[in-house]
Structure 1
Amino acid sequence: MYVIVVGLQIKPEHRQDFIEAAFQNSHDSRLNEPGTRRFELIKDESDPNRFYLSEAYEDKAAFEAHANGSYFQTFVAASSKCYAQKPVWLVKGTMMAPSDEA
């Protein structure tokens, strides 16, 4: 499973716009993109304008299909005004299982 985590600092005046755009992207992606396994929006407990997107895909190809797809492009357009700073990639990689140990 391919996993990504992105840290996002949101402008307070666009917080609700960002949440709605993220939820719509999550809904559309999980419903219509077969390789999307998990899509979670996490609010930081110490900063109400700090969020994390944690997503899991069947494999890297499924993530790339999502990143190049219409749902993600709609999210980018809707959320671009919301960022107080550039999003930060915290994780990009393959989830390991005990059988993957080498």
Structure 2
Amino acid sequence: MYHIAVSFDVPADRRDEFIAAALEDGRDSAADEPGTRRFELIADADNPNRFYLNEAYDDEAAFNLHAKGPHFARFFDIINSFATGPTWLIKGTRIEDPQA
């Protein structure tokens, strides 16, 4: 499974707009993109205006399909004028333990 995690910083007065856009992206991606397995929006515990997207896909190709899709584009169309990010935190394939 392919995982990514990114962070975004947003102005306090645009916080609700960012949350709505991210939740819409996640909801629509999960509904329309079969390779999307997890799409989580997480608010930072110490900074209320920092958010993390924690996502999982079947493989890197599924993520690339998502990144070229309409939901991804709409999300960035909405947030590009006010959000700082994405700052990449992780990008890669989970290593499974064959003995677990």
TM-score (normalised: structure 2): 0.94
Q: How far off its partner does 1:87 sit?
A: 2.1
**In 2, Cα distance between equivalents of 1:58 and 1:86:** 24
Q: In structure 1, what is the equivalent of residue 87 of structure 2? A: 88
TM-score (normalised: structure 1): 0.93
- Runs of 5+ consecutive residues of structure 1 not aligned to the other structure: none
Letter in 2 for 1:78: I
Letter in 2 for 1:70: P
Q: Does 1:5 align with 2:33?
A: no
Aligned pairs, number: 99
Structure 1 segment 9-88 matched on structure 2, within 5 A: 9-83=9-83, 85-88=84-87
Identity of aligned residues (%): 46
- Runs of 5+ consecutive residues of structure 2 not aligned to the other structure: none
Q: How far off its partner does 1:32 sit?
A: 0.7
Over 2 Å off, 4+ runs: none
Say which structure is richer in helix.
1
Q: Deviations over 1:42-61 (max 9, x none)?
A: 00011100110000000000
